[in-house]
Amino acid sequence: MKVKTLQIVWHGKEPVYSVDFSGAACLATAGADKEIKLWQVSQGEDGYATIQHTASLSGHSKTVNCIRFSPTGRDLVSSGDGGEMLIWQPCADAQAPRGNLSAEEEEPCMKRAAVLRGHTDDIMDVGWSSDGSALVSASIDNRAIVWDMGDRKRGAMLAQLAHHKHFVQGVAWDPVRQFVVTQSADRTCRVYRLKPPAVGKKARAKAAAATAAATAKDLYCCATLSKGATRGGVKVPLFHDESLPSFFRRLAWSPDGSMLAVPAGVHRFEEGGKEGHAVHVYARDEWDAPLLHLPGHSKPVVAVRFCPVLFKKPEPSGKEDVGGQAIDLPYRMVFALVSHAHQERVDVEAGLLFFTEHADPVDVHPMQVATLDSVVIYDTASPTPLCLLGALHYDSITDLAWSGDARYLAVSSRDCYCSIAVFEPGELGEALAGGEAEWWLGGVGKPAPGSQPADAAVALPDSAVQLDQLDSVLPPGPAPAQGPEQEHARPAACPTPVLKKARRIVPEAVPCQPQPAPTVAAADQSSADDSFTFPAPPSAPPSEPPTACDPLQAARWPAQPAKRRLASADRVAEVPSSGVGRMVRKRAVSLLKRGNGASGERKAPKPKSGALRSTKVKTPVHHVAKGPPKAKHARPAPPAGPKAWTPASVVHRQAAYAMQRLLAADASGKGGASVKTLTLAPHIEAKRATHAVTCECLRHLLVIQELVEEAGLLTKFPRLSAPVAYVLVYDMLFGQPPRPIGAPERAVLSTREQLETALTAALTAAGVGTAEELVAARFPAGSAAAPASLPHPRCVRVNTLLCSVEEAVAELRDAGHTQVEPDPLLPSVLSLPPGTDLHALPGVGSGRLVLQSRASCMPAAALRPPPGAALLDACAAPGNKTTQLAALLGAGGSVLALDRDPQRAQRLQASVDCTGAGAIVAVRCADFLTLDPARHAHVQGILLDPSCSGSGTAAARADAQLPGAAARRALGEAAPRVEALAAFQEAALRHALSFPGLQRLTYSTCSVHVRENEAVVAAVLPDAEAAGMELAPALPGWHRRGIAGACPRAECLVRTGV
């Protein structure tokens, strides 16, 4: 295998967001330049991939997020921001251009055939049905839409899947056309399935011949994948929330339809353990718990793609395999996923392979998984990865695709480049011959004619079967060598995955990469939901044989676990009627009505008191019986109140949503919402305007709330929500008045006179003349959240590892920043006028300039490490002080940087790499309090900047004016959180003093509370004197010192005030 990042102009200087293959060599890419480009891929003489540009397709007015070829390779769908989705078809007389192309000469070989309109916001993912007759799209408008792709009604909307409560970021259509799965930022996956066909040969034949477009209207939500269970039985989420640092969650089905791989997963091996990133793999139609997990990734997994080629299983070597076989299938599959490439070690516990005791076997297929900056390739025949492709890109990977012959693997990235891996023939394994592959994939897309489901069915014993008994009760699959020429009946469905006996997996070296790769672990049995247990099935099998239109269900019907069946209607009431339980109850009633498959009119058994009421049915239907449920604990229906108004402006709409999230987080007291995350995320349009409106609305929030209450705005207009009212009132009184183009805008403008009267009365009562003075009057003088009277200069630090201070000053002055001056106390810090846009400065993106305030630069400067010293940064993330220490030490020194949180440690490593400090700084994800001082006796200096209340930065945070924040400020140092933080800070200081080689120690916080500063130093000072250390003056040239009387020798301490 040879992989290379092709250094060509793919999409200008814009990120590449999606990539896909048509056939064996036609590659399509799309990105933020609003274009789709087609390329011809070939293998050069050196063995690496080479490409030739063939066409550019222009039609989008905004960023293109996803492109996918139809199963036939003829049509291409592209989706982008603003709800744009286009269908492209080959031109009848177009030919791919050859030679050097220019914008004037190029003739596109595809034309726009249709425009699909239905989504109101960015479309993040699309998926075709296996027959190409339908298409499903996922959007951040919280919906997935199914579209008709037939020739007669192309572009017609067939169904809307609107069960998610947050952005829908991924979608996948089952190759057998029975399931559609969506993944959302609400930490759930929704599984939609087709209703089973009516009873009768004609009905089954009609359903078997129907296209995906014809049956799409019958999709209903049959399962919600949201929470699993740890070994302690505590329910934990299965997936990341909206804080995932990628806006794509590209899940994938295996080509035979037997497995679903879902990215963006989280996994805990034990109760109370840390969450790790993982991919959850589900067996088909087994949604209670994942079949297995793929853990060990140090960054979230954002995309998974299966290789379309099936491979032969390797011959047994006769030796005991250390890792064992992960999934037992008659063939192998390969898949790839996107993950972190720079993993220093693999946790031994992550190398344990735990299997769920499933009744159905498991499938093995090569697939690929894409994480944020590396690609890990797995094989279903082995629990360890085949290889890991790392250090390919400087920014996160966004998508990946296999060629039709499995020879090429293309990867796209936000760094504006794409990489292509080339696999030599046989390198991934020996591919199944065309007849053999078609034989095994006979159930994909259409039922296999002449199939015999009874031959493929496996009659398993009850759930008491042990793992080591599975091999004895499962019949062997047909040998691939027999092929279609033999007289065996072709299977009606793909082979079901078989889980092998649990055993310990010893971490092995992974080829094609220098570091160990993630390992595989299957799901724990305790992750199954025990609350939905149905009684055991009757001993006699159902009288109606499995239908041919659903080959997978037909093959597995006799082998269903006990909880899949009902004995009587009396048992239905045992199923909870809320959440996932309500979904299971619907499905249970559906099974009850089908009964034994007898046609004609019949009556279900009458339920007992408190059970769900059943009704007469003619031919069996698959809806819940009409009428209100009689369950004792049934959830009442939500009130049918009017829907809240939505602002017409996208800026107001986004700012109102951010305000809603911030107010909810503030009311709960748990936080979890950040202004920057909510207003500057990749999907946000007009980011600067949205961020500015949100920040200013927060700053004026206390005043706006008084005005809205005084004018009775929310009482007069019940459909006007508080966040929308706050945003519109701010813009009307203090910004740009909104136009009366929507209901909420007209409502607010109609009360303008009352609001202005209330504002005048508030100004008069406070004795001030402007709104700014009124905002300042709401805070006590000198409080942490009070607006600053005079703006401070903006500061940046020169990274002397990459350039000198003189070079940085000259570069800034050449760029027009003539007022830049070095700080007299900190020579590497440059001061610029207030209001300077620091992000636009030359040198910020390259790491020569670091965005770091003057106060943040003082602790490292106070440490004054000698050249060549060995230092330790105890709580290092995000890394500004760490890289400053590296710059002070130079090439001869060393810094050990610690942070206990894996995500913060990743950010720390990124800061070190960006500033060129990798040769000096070693990053470790570890807890400083558990570090053994005896093993680090060489450490001479420690910088300790532990967690604190952050009260000193309140004025710089936009959320300081929230009501909850004001209540916490009122408590001040009496807050329990401040006392708990101070206890932790004292413990950290005492632990730092226990290092035997320690010569200098700097302690700093960003708090104004005496309890976290002078009181902590005073409490630890006797321990320092016992260790032979004394309190030394820090930064003698600084004028503000510690509070006298709060600590012995308080004049040695520094309070920055900046």
What residues does 409 pair with on adjacent strands? Answer: 402, 421
Q: Is 1006 a catalytic residue?
A: yes
Strands 276-283, 334-339: pairing is unpaired
Question: First-to-last CA distance in the chain?
Answer: 55
Contacts of 305 (CB under 8 A, 6+ apart): 250, 252, 335, 336, 367, 368, 369, 370, 400, 401, 402
Identify whether the C-beta of residue 143 lies closer than 8 Å to the C-beta of residue 99. Answer: no
Burial class (CB in 10 A: 0-12, 13-18, 19+), 254: buried
Q: Does the annotation place 927 within a ligand binding site?
A: yes
**Closest Cα partner for 70 from 157, 129, 155, 153?**
129
Count Cα atoms within 13 angstroms, Cβ side, for 360. 30
Query: Which of 512, 1006, 1047, 1052 is flagged as catalytic?
Result: 1006
Q: Say if residue 642 carries a ligand binding annotation.
A: no
Amino acid, res. 753: E
**Is 877 annotated in some ligand binding site?**
yes
Element (H or E) spanning 295, and its range? Answer: strand 292-297
Closest of 629, 537, 529, 549 to residue 586, by C-alpha? 629
Q: How far is CA 821 from the centre of its chain?
A: 42
Look-up: residue for tokens 């020798």?
1049
Q: Is 878 annotated as a binding residue?
A: yes
Contact by Cβ (8 Å): 101, 49: no
Residue type present at position 43: Q
The residues, ordered by sequence, that sit 6+ positions from 870 with a Cβ below 8 Å of its Cβ are 893, 894, 896, 938, 939, 940, 941
Check if the beta carbon of residue 243 is closer than 8 Å to that of residue 250. no
Is residue 799 annotated as involved in ligand binding? no
Amino acid at 734: F
Report the C-alpha gap between 451 and 442 in whole angstroms.
Answer: 9
- Asked whether residue 457 is marked as a ligand-binding residue, the answer is no
Q: How far apart are CA 499 and CA 641, in angstroms?
A: 50
Burial of 964 (0-12, 13-18, 19+ CB in 10 A): middle
The alpha-carbon radius of gyration of the chain (Å, integer) is: 32
Burial of 90 (0-12, 13-18, 19+ CB in 10 A): middle
DSSP states along 941-971: EEEE------GGGGGG-GGGGSHHHHHHHHH
The response to whether 1045 counts as a known ligand-binding position is no
Structure tokens at 509: 């070296």
- SS3 assignment, position 185: coil
Task: Quickly count: other Cβ atoms within 10 Å of residue 78's Cβ.
Answer: 26
Q: How far apart are CA 771 and CA 620, in angstroms?
A: 68
Name which of 381, 376, 372 is nearest 511 in CA terms: 376
Question: What is the per-residue DSSP string for 587-610?
Answer: HHHHHHHHTT---S-B-PPPP-TT
Region of 86 (left: φ > 0; alpha: ψ -120 to 50; beta: rest) is beta
945 is in an annotated binding site: yes
DSSP code string of 438-463:
HHHTTTSSSPPTT--HHHH------T
CA distance 749 to 743: 10
d(CA 339, CA 367): 14
Residue 75 annotated as binding site = no
Tell whether residue 875 is among the known ligand binding residues. yes
> Does residue 878 have a cis bond before it (omega within 30 degrees)?
yes
Feature table: binding site for S-adenosyl-L-methionine? 875-881, 899, 927, 945
Binding residues: 875-881, 899, 927, 945
Catalytic amino acids?
1006
